[in-house]
Every structure is written in structure tokens, then in C-alpha cells.
């Protein structure tokens, strides 16, 4: 079968190992010497963020309408899992007299005094 007949390009809901479900425009691309799923995921601003997945990470790909894929993408934006990816917490400078005291309190906690 010619390569062009096997090409995949469709809006889809993609389920990945690890219970991740994303919606976007899915195509197959060769990257790093292997076929990969390219998923262009719409963000809140209407821009597309490109993500690549290897075949072993994919549980299922369900072609669907653009509206459904965008709806899934909107509800599936995962929060970052690493602390350094999170924005710094807002703190009121008037409540903290000395940064050393603040950091010590954060490390020890009120229950350990």
C-alpha cells in the first residue's frame, strides 16, 4: 500500500497511557527516526500547541469533529506537576518581617514549633 493512503489527518480525541485525554488535530509525522503522533492542541487563546507522542504511549485515537476535539482540549489542560513550573505564591510583604523567619516557618511548620 502506498504511504499516502496510510496518512492520518483528523481532529481526534487521543487517550494516552497514564490516563491523559487530549483533543486536537492529529497527524502522523516521522521524528527522531520513527513514526509519531503529532497533536496540535488548541489552548484558551485559540493558538495551537504542538505535542508529539510515540506509538507506545498511545492508548487510543478516536477521530471526531473539530468542536468535540476543542471541547476535550479545553477541559483537559493538565496543571504542571513540578514545583518550579508553578508561579510563585503571592505573599503580602507587610505580613513578613524577615524572609529568614518566613522560610524557617515554612520548613518547620506550626505543629513542630
Question: In terms of pLDDT, which residue wins out, 39 or 99?
Answer: 39
pLDDT at 77: 63
Question: In terms of pLDDT, which residue wins out, 48 or 78?
Answer: 48
Residue 108 per-residue DSSP state? H
Residue that is written with C-alpha cell 492520518 in the block = 8
pLDDT of 82 strictly over 70: no
The class of domain 3-78 in CATH terms is mainly beta
pLDDT at 109: 47
Q: Helix H segments across 13-85?
A: 66-75
Grid cell for residue 25: 488535530
Mean pLDDT, rounded, of the chain: 78
Q: Indicate the domain borders of the chain.
A: 3-78
Q: What mean pLDDT comes out for the span 39-50? A: 87
Are 52 and 38 a contacting pair, CB within 8 Å? yes
Task: Specify the range with the lowest mean pLDDT, choosing from 46-50, 55-59, 84-88, 92-96.
Answer: 92-96
Instruction: Supply the Cα-derived Rg of the chain in whole angstroms.
Output: 22
**How far is it, in rounded angstroms, from Cα 15 to Cα 64?**
13
**How far is it, in rounded angstroms, from Cα 106 to Cα 101?**
9
Q: What is the pTM of this model?
A: 0.63
Q: What mean pLDDT comes out for the span 72-99? A: 65
pLDDT of 28 strictly over 60: yes
Amino acid at each position: 500500500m502506498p504511504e499516502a493512503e496510510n496518512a492520518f489527518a483528523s481532529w481526534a480525541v487521543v487517550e494516552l497511557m497514564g490516563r491523559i485525554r487530549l483533543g486536537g488535530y492529529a497527524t502522523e509525522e516521522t521524528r527522531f527516526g520513527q513514526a509519531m503522533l503529532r497533536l496540535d492542541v488548541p489552548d484558551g487563546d485559540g493558538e495551537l500547541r504542538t505535542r508529539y507522542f510515540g506509538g507506545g504511549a498511545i492508548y487510543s485515537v478516536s477521530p471526531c469533529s473539530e468542536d468535540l476535539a476543542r471541547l476535550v482540549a479545553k477541559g483537559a489542560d493538565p496543571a504542571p506537576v513540578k514545583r518550579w513550573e508553578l508561579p510563585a505564591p503571592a505573599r503580602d510583604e507587610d505580613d513578613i518581617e524577615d524572609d529568614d523567619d518566613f522560610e524557617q516557618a515554612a520548613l518547620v511548620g506550626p505543629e513542630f514549633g
